Structure 1
Amino acid sequence: MPPHDRRAPPGRRMLALPTVCPCEAIAPGTLLASLVALVAEVARHDAAALPVLRRGAGEALRVTRVLLAFLEEVREAAAEPLPDASVLGLSELHVAMQKLRFLLADCSRRGARLWVLMNADLVASELRVVLCSVATALDVLPADVVGASVEAGELARLLSQQAWRAPVWPDEDDGRATRSVRSMLALFRSRATPHAEDAMMVLGRVGITSWCDCAEEAAFLEAELLDRLEDGRENDNDLVLISGLMAFLVYCRVVLFDTVDAKKADAAAPGSRPASSCAAWTSQEALQCPISLELMTDPVTVTTGQTYDRTSIKRWIKSGCRTCPVTGEKLRSTQFVPNVAARGIVEQLLLANGTPLHEQQSSKHRCAVDKTVSAFGPAAAGGVRLAVAFLIARLSRGTPEEQKKATHEVRKLAKRNVYHRACLVEADAVPWLLHLVSSMDASVQDNAIACLLNLSKHAAGRSALVEAGGLGLVVDAVNVAAKVEARQNAAAILFYLSPNSEYCQEIGRIPEAIPTLVRLMRDGTYRGRKNALVSLHGVLHGASSIGKAVTAGAVGVLASLLPGDREDLANDAVALLARIAEQPAGATAILASSELVTSLVDFLGASASRSGKDHCVALLASLCLHGGDKVVALMGKMTALMPALYALIADGSPLANKKARWLINEIHRVYEQRQPPPPVAPPAGDRVIRV
């Protein structure tokens, strides 16, 4: 029996039924063999195991098994090769069976059970169309095929009768559950609380028995919502229903289940490994992109056979590099081949960890998240507000275990939905989360900081955090939070606060703020260093803040990042050095290290990043401006500088072009001033004595 967690093939949307029509020139025997294999695969499904539409799917499978017996009889009884005229009917059967295979896979898919329930009428209609196609195909098969034997003829008549008359409409229990869901959505619209018994009846009907099942269903609907928004389908009528169902599942997850259960092992298909054991036989490091060192969400293979994440390798090639980053070989082509096997392993790994692949965000995905600023319909709005009110009560008055679950729920709720963040801020979640930042429970503290990070992406959330006096707590969390991830998230909060000059001044006045970020840059993990770099860049707005960064040793730490193998960290380090060099004290600290100045000149010539070159030439210009002619003369002696500056004049951005021209003019000016004056010719008629 096939597994019940089958996911749709990449690129296919739920309840979409793409098919491939066999070629007209195909040999009838080849087509029959392929059709028998396809029908046998479909017939192995078990309708009793489906959460919804059991009767309709059972009727369709009964017809499929009769069709399988008919085709096998035809194959055995045919004394001669099948006539070419049979291709039309066999092709129609092949297309119908492809659609039925997709339908049954969608109906048995874990995570999409509630969505299938609410689309039961559509699924029943598609089943009806498939069975009618089977009956029609039998009518166009040649008589010598249908009557290849007595048994074949009897099976054909039975098959035709059953295909035309099969009752495939939804079950009564499915209809009752669907009406209950719509009734509860109506209660959400009026801000009324539904009865727990009604919600549990619906969940039980589709086989949702745990918090994990509920979260899986909500994650599927969230992915569907964001996929449609990414495609520009903001006016899709299904968005209102999807959002309402998401709110219903969130409410059930928050209110009806007291504990966050661990991810259960899923049933695996024959010959394949279960998703839950994926981490045991696959190294996560092997699935990291060699360029970004992050998990590949869209792995592709280049001509050298190496696999990279599509976004990373495209950025690599766009920067002008036409070699393989791992082998150094020249790429014969810039075309990529999707690595389907690697993508499947990544999906299983993420599923085993309870993380949907959609969490790996792209710019297009972030744009879709921005479109969730308002709820799609009053039912979604009401359901979310009821769930948020319940969570705030648990945060403020719950037991330690209830607070632990509530922070976990708030973290999930605010992760990828702007409207959810707005609801949490309006419900005064920020002060209670700040209170839990000092919790002795590491997981509660971690969840609380992650919640604040998500809420700091909202303007009202940033304001609420500052007004509640949370800046000092966030800075302390960067320094002393129990988990490394919590310290990294706390630094990211400062980054989201940094665009506001008033907030930056407040952060700068905290004695430990800048030294803490400098320590994170020096000792943190890759993500921690990245967050510290961008946060400190935003905080260093004034001379006093730059002086504190210099005193804390920021220049030396940044210098250590330049020769590293992470180009993005080096670019951020140069950008931060450029900010520091804007003040005389910062420029003096940078010039104190001749090795750093040499490294910056080398970086300017070697960097493939356009923004990195812009920041580097601006940094060198600031050093010359504050250091005077002595520094300009030093720059002029560096043989690698002038070629890099002329390259920027030819191909750089307007800003880099302007800075490069200024530097070249300054170097020429100082060089001309230091040349000895030309000899003066003696007056005519004077006697000259040559020695």
Structure 2
Amino acid sequence: MPPPDERGQQPRRRRMLARPAVCPCEAIAPAPLLASLLSLAADAAGLQGDALPAVRGAAREAVRIADLLHAFLHAVRGAASGGDARPLPDEAVLGFSELHVALQKLRLLLADCARKGARLWVLMNAEMAASELRVVMGSVATAVDTLPEGVVAASAEARELAGLVSAHAWRAAARLRPDPEDDRAARGVRSVLARFAGGVMPDAEDARHVLDRVGAATWSGCAEEGAFLEAELLERLETGGEDDNDLVLIGGLMAFLVYCRVVLFDRIDDADKAEAAAVARPPARCAAWINPEALQCPITLELMTDPVTVATGQTYDRASIKKWIKSGCRTCPITGERLRSAELVPNVAARGIIEQLLLSRGVPLQEPSSKHRCAVDKTLAPFGAAAAGGVRLAVAFLIARLSRGTPKQQKKASYEARKLSKRNVFYRACLVEADAVPWLLHLLSSGDASVQDNAVAGLLNLSKHPAGRRALVESGGLGLIVDAVNVAARVEARQNAAAVLFYLSSNPEYCEEISRIPEAIPTLVHLARDGAYRGRKNALVSLYGLLQCTDAHGRAVSAGAVGALAGLLLGSPAAAAAEGDDLALDAVALLARIAEQPAGARAVAASSELVTRLVDFLGESASRSANEHGASLLASLGRHGGDRVLALLGKLPGLMPALYALIADGTPQAVKKARWLVNEIHRHYEKRQAPAAARAPAGGDHCVIRV
């Protein structure tokens, strides 16, 4: 993982076939510069031939030259450190520096040509890759030719090797070209893309030839290549200033890989291998010294994928702690200390341990995708006719398998639908248009837990699309989703089903329909009370959406929502710290919405312990949104609870300081609520004190403080 920049942010990923290089400083001594050159040459020469499926002829020639160069540099160092050694001349620094820059570029180019997952992209840019290698070979030859005689003639071996490096490098600079097979495979890809653009299914043998050429002749190989292209596409969309031609090519190649993955392969080989490994290997054999619980993010309680350390020394998952800080909380969730800086430092050691743990279980560590989410909306339209045609052909094949396939084919198709719908808006639209939603709903009743899980996850992704939500409701899927929240075989499926209800509740009409299902609100309340962290979170946000319907308030109160939310607020301090108070914030927001109606306010006010905790929460929270919800909730209790609640609030010592602080530094809405509540509490006590003042003896001194 690359180090963070000075602002604590991860630098942008280097674009493929780009050749950034750093020139050594002018004051560097020849000896350390030579040591660095030896390391660079060894890296370039150490590349295995079978790791170069694309541009292999040119890349292998460059590797041989790097090997010769390594031998030459080794001979120079040996002559400089022998018995009759002569120190390297200072004038060698200029030639070594030029060679150092050239070797940096060569190492990057060779690494790109050998990079697993990027081989199809290199194949389609084979001419550019070969051209870059020619330029670098010319730089190597020039740098060796300009080395001082004292370096080249350090020994007979050094002199001979220098001549070989120069001759081979100059010849490579003139002759390196892409292999004829590369050209044939690239033409095959363009032929397939042309067929996609015309809506015609390509010849399977053409596609298989390309996959064989780049070493991606399996489902997992296609998936790996597709993951690289997706990351490349989203990176370019996020940074802006992208080349439209490159985007069209990337989109077309992604569609090519999707088509190959869906149509050409009957099984998902990496998933089968992982499942077989899990069965064959007992859990106890996974690195005994690793404690998986210690690698969970304290906020989400899920295994970290991108661990970072904050200023207090505590480690969190990057996405979770960024969300925490963005919400206005500038304290460490575990220690409670104020964060002096928002800098996030990657915890490389923790990431290495997590990767080792996952690999021991046969699961690859996925790169975090949160940095690409802002670019997903830009995938609404396809990048070219080939991208559109290829995906539509693959989706049509998927629907046929979902509707008429064998159970094994349906299992693979459900997984493909889940994967396709994850991070590309156009892919979601294609699935919805092809009527994937009814078939995924049908698979909710599958006896295979993995099929059911894939169907729910696919529906969750499609529910993020307006047309997907409409298709789900029109297909009669609301009741099926509610049932899945309650009875799905896997915890993940129940959690995802709850999230589907959240997206559906964004539409007032759908919200009304969901709230009228008798089991809907009680099921979500049960999940909020007894589920795991993610299940609780999804249940809370779904309930919040449903409570925009007035009729839903009474159902939520009857289902015990207030008690479930009170449990989240009155739980143990250790649990609250582990969850980063995230669920508590959601609970207060939900209680505020429930208390908008008199019945809900009375249910909340019935527990003096809960009211006391709400006041404490208002004083403790650093989040402006949490304070606004807290003030709104207490104001609703005062409005609907009458004198009894106002009397209780007036007796709580922490309330007035919290309200005054909110009036001084809160949002306009929070200030309005806090000011109203302060005035109401004062009016209540003024009314109580008025009769006593009337009965006081003449001349009695009585003072009422009003703010």
TM-score normalised by structure 1 residue count? 0.91
Query: Match of 1:240?
Result: 248
Q: Does 1:572 align with 2:586?
A: yes
Give the match's secondary structure for 2:693.
coil
Matches within 5 A, 1:246-645: 246-262=254-270, 282-313=290-321, 325-326=333-334, 335-346=343-354, 357-358=366-367, 360-362=368-370, 365-564=372-571, 565=576, 566=579, 567-645=581-659
Query: Measured at CA, do residues 122 and 531 of structure 1 come closer, stay the same or move farther in structure 2, by a change above 3 Å?
Result: same
Deviations 1:242-286 (A, max 9, x none): 1110100000000000011125999xxxxxxxxxx9988754433
Quick one: distance in 2 between partners of 1:91 and 1:673?
87
Deviations 1:588-619 (A, max 9, x none): 11121111111111111112222111111101
Query: Measured at CA, do residues 370 and 323 of structure 1 come closer, stay the same or move farther in structure 2, by a change above 3 Å?
Result: closer
Quick one: distance in 1 between partners of 2:309 and 2:639?
48
Tell me the CA shift for residue 335 of structure 1: 4.3
Aligned AA (1:602):
D
Quick one: distance in 1 between partners of 2:114 and 2:272?
17
Quick one: distance in 2 between partners of 1:72 and 1:682?
109
Q: Which of the numbers 183, 201, 208 marks the counterpart of 1:175? A: 183
8 A contact 2:627–2:670 mirrored in 1: yes
Give the match's secondary structure for 1:18.
coil
Give the match's secondary structure for 1:300.
strand
- Which stretch has the larger CA shift, 112-121 or 14-23? 14-23
Query: Match of 1:159?
Result: 165
- Which stretch has the larger CA shift, 515-524 or 63-72? 63-72
- Which stretch has the larger CA shift, 157-166 or 305-314? 305-314
Deviations 1:384-424 (A, max 9, x none): 00000000111111111111111000000000000001011
8 A contact 1:575–1:612 mirrored in 2: yes
Quick one: distance in 2 between partners of 1:234 and 1:200?
30
Query: Match of 2:693?
Result: 677
Quick one: distance in 2 between partners of 1:434 and 1:319?
35
Give the match's secondary structure for 2:269.
coil
Deviations 1:107-127 (A, max 9, x none): 222111111111111111111
Quick one: distance in 2 between partners of 1:382 and 1:21?
47
Tell me the CA shift for residue 330 of structure 1: 6.9
8 A contact 1:60–1:168 mirrored in 2: no
Quick one: distance in 1 between partners of 2:427 and 2:251?
12
Tell me the CA shift for residue 24 of structure 1: 1.1
Unaligned residue ranges in structure 1 (runs of 5+): 1-7, 267-276, 684-691
Query: Match of 1:214?
Result: 222
Quick one: distance in 1 between partners of 2:115 and 2:63?
17
Deviations 1:571-604 (A, max 9, x none): 1111111111111111111121111111111111
Quick one: distance in 2 between partners of 1:588 and 1:465?
37
Q: Does 1:88 align with 2:104?
A: no
8 A contact 1:478–1:488 mirrored in 2: yes
Query: Match of 2:156?
Result: 150
Tell me the CA shift for residue 238 of structure 1: 1.1
Query: Measured at CA, do residues 562 and 320 of structure 1 come closer, stay the same or move farther in structure 2, by a change above 3 Å?
Result: same
Quick one: distance in 1 between partners of 2:325 and 2:415?
40
Query: Measured at CA, do residues 350 and 391 of structure 1 come closer, stay the same or move farther in structure 2, by a change above 3 Å?
Result: farther
Give % identity.
71
Query: Match of 2:65?
Result: 63
Deviations 1:205-260 (A, max 9, x none): 11112111111111111111111111124554311111110100000000000011
Q: Does 1:655 align with 2:669?
A: yes
Quick one: distance in 2 between partners of 1:187 and 1:318?
47
Query: Measured at CA, do residues 519 and 291 of structure 1 come closer, stay the same or move farther in structure 2, by a change above 3 Å?
Result: closer
Q: Which of the numbers 133, 137, 140 marks the counterpart of 2:143? A: 137
Give the match's secondary structure for 2:316.
strand
Tell me the CA shift for residue 306 of structure 1: 3.3
Q: Which of the numbers 28, 31, 41 marks the counterpart of 2:33? A: 31
Query: Measured at CA, do residues 253 and 41 of structure 1 come closer, stay the same or move farther in structure 2, by a change above 3 Å?
Result: same
Tell me the CA shift for residue 18 of structure 1: 2.1
Tell me the CA shift for residue 161 of structure 1: 1.3
8 A contact 2:299–2:582 mirrored in 1: no
Quick one: distance in 2 between partners of 1:613 and 1:90?
63
Aligned AA (2:155):
S
Tell me the CA shift for residue 304 of structure 1: 4.8
Query: Match of 2:18?
Result: 16
Give the match's secondary structure for 2:24.
coil
Query: Measured at CA, do residues 22 and 226 of structure 1 come closer, stay the same or move farther in structure 2, by a change above 3 Å?
Result: same
Tell me the CA shift for residue 138 of structure 1: 1.6
8 A contact 1:457–1:496 mirrored in 2: yes
Quick one: distance in 2 between partners of 1:177 and 1:280?
47
Query: Measured at CA, do residues 513 and 297 of structure 1 come closer, stay the same or move farther in structure 2, by a change above 3 Å?
Result: same
8 A contact 1:278–1:348 mirrored in 2: no
8 A contact 2:557–2:603 mirrored in 1: yes
Quick one: distance in 2 between partners of 1:528 and 1:374?
33
Aligned AA (2:316):
Y
Query: Measured at CA, do residues 69 and 472 of structure 1 come closer, stay the same or move farther in structure 2, by a change above 3 Å?
Result: same
Quick one: distance in 2 between partners of 1:538 and 1:180?
51
Deviations 1:350-384 (A, max 9, x none): 777666634x443x532211111010111000000
Give the match's secondary structure for 2:308.
strand
Give the match's secondary structure for 1:148.
coil
Query: Measured at CA, do residues 147 and 589 of structure 1 come closer, stay the same or move farther in structure 2, by a change above 3 Å?
Result: same
Query: Measured at CA, do residues 408 and 172 of structure 1 come closer, stay the same or move farther in structure 2, by a change above 3 Å?
Result: same
Query: Match of 1:271?
Result: none
Q: Which of the numbers 97, 112, 129 marks the counterpart of 1:106? A: 112
Quick one: distance in 2 between partners of 1:458 and 1:323?
36
Tell me the CA shift for residue 319 of structure 1: 7.2
Count of aligned positions: 664
Aligned AA (1:121):
E
Aligned AA (1:249):
L
8 A contact 2:330–2:622 mirrored in 1: no
> How large is the Cα RMSD of the aligned pairs?
2.5
- Which stretch has the larger CA shift, 340-349 or 635-644? 340-349
Give the match's secondary structure for 1:237.
helix
Give the match's secondary structure for 1:308.
strand
Query: Measured at CA, do residues 264 and 592 of structure 1 come closer, stay the same or move farther in structure 2, by a change above 3 Å?
Result: closer
8 A contact 2:638–2:645 mirrored in 1: yes
Quick one: distance in 2 between partners of 1:318 and 1:528?
22
Query: Match of 2:212?
Result: 204
Query: Measured at CA, do residues 586 and 415 of structure 1 come closer, stay the same or move farther in structure 2, by a change above 3 Å?
Result: same
Query: Measured at CA, do residues 130 and 646 of structure 1 come closer, stay the same or move farther in structure 2, by a change above 3 Å?
Result: same
Give the match's secondary structure for 1:677.
helix
Quick one: distance in 2 between partners of 1:332 and 1:296?
23
TM-score normalised by structure 2 residue count? 0.89
8 A contact 2:44–2:106 mirrored in 1: yes
Deviations 1:41-93 (A, max 9, x none): 32122224421222111211221122122222222334311111110111111
Tell me the CA shift for residue 433 of structure 1: 1.1
